[in-house]
A and B are shown apart, each in its own frame.
Chain A
Amino acid sequence: MQIGFHGRIAAPFSGAVNVEVSMNGLAVSGLRALLASQYNVDAILHRSVRAAVNDEIVPEDYVIRPGDTVEFMSPVSGG
């Protein structure tokens, strides 16, 4: 599954990365921990970086399934 990133958090991941998610799914908090470990980016653990699944902001216990569109985004700047 491809994970997208927006804002300041995008740079350390070069915009997107691929992660394997089993059919059992993976909670947002687990995905953060996985990304922090695999890419050595602690900033992904900060709660100000929000997770969006299928274009909706989701809580930390939301379980991501294969086929979901998953993105992390830094706080928006506004227009």
Chain B
Amino acid sequence: MTDEKCDKGVHAELANTVIDAAARLDDLRLRAPGHGAVVSFQGTVRPVTKQGEPLEKLILDHHPRMTLVSLQRIAEAGIRRFDVSAVSVVHRCGAMVPGEVIVFVGVTGDHRREAFLAADYLMDRLKTEAVFWKRELGPFGERWIEPTDRDRMDLERWNEKNAGH
């Protein structure tokens, strides 16, 4: 895969306001038209914590420079690893309420399987490696959140021989 494809095919963005996932999908389709497969994923803020308590806010602290670089690197890794034509990663930062979109991932390509795999890979890396520090607020007070064992296991899958192929 050429660097030119990587340059043209990757969009990574840090958003400090609500992400309009439908508009982001339209943007992706306009940027990479003519492909048979368009896969998108959006992660949203859950209304309850893992402990089952009501969640009032989720706060994603970010680094002023390193966070966007991390999103860019992950997106570039996705387009390099899979036979896809364009990748879009848009990630929220700041305070969010339940139901809001935290992350949008979109992938276009000629074949659905590669597009699905790329989106899955991108999310696994974002969940563990994106430079954010996450806190949840609710009746319990404030609590820091770190990647779970499940998140780490999801990421490990991609280190296995022939993972995803």
Contact = CB atoms under 8 A, between A and B. Distances in A.
B129 A7 contact: no
A7 B144 CA distance: 8
Interface in B40-95: 43, 60-61, 63, 65-66, 69, 91
Given A52-B66, A73-B63, A78 B132 contact: yes
In terms of DSSP, what is the predominant structure of the interface of chain B? mixed
Interface residues of B, number: 24
Contacts, number: 50
A76 B69 contact: no
Nearest to B124: A78
8 contacts: A8-B144, A77-B60, A77-B132, A77-B133, A77-B144, A77-B147, A78-B151, A79-B130
Interface of B: 43, 60-61, 63, 65-66, 69, 91, 102-103, 126-134, 144-147, 151
Interface of A: 6-8, 10, 52, 55, 71, 73-79
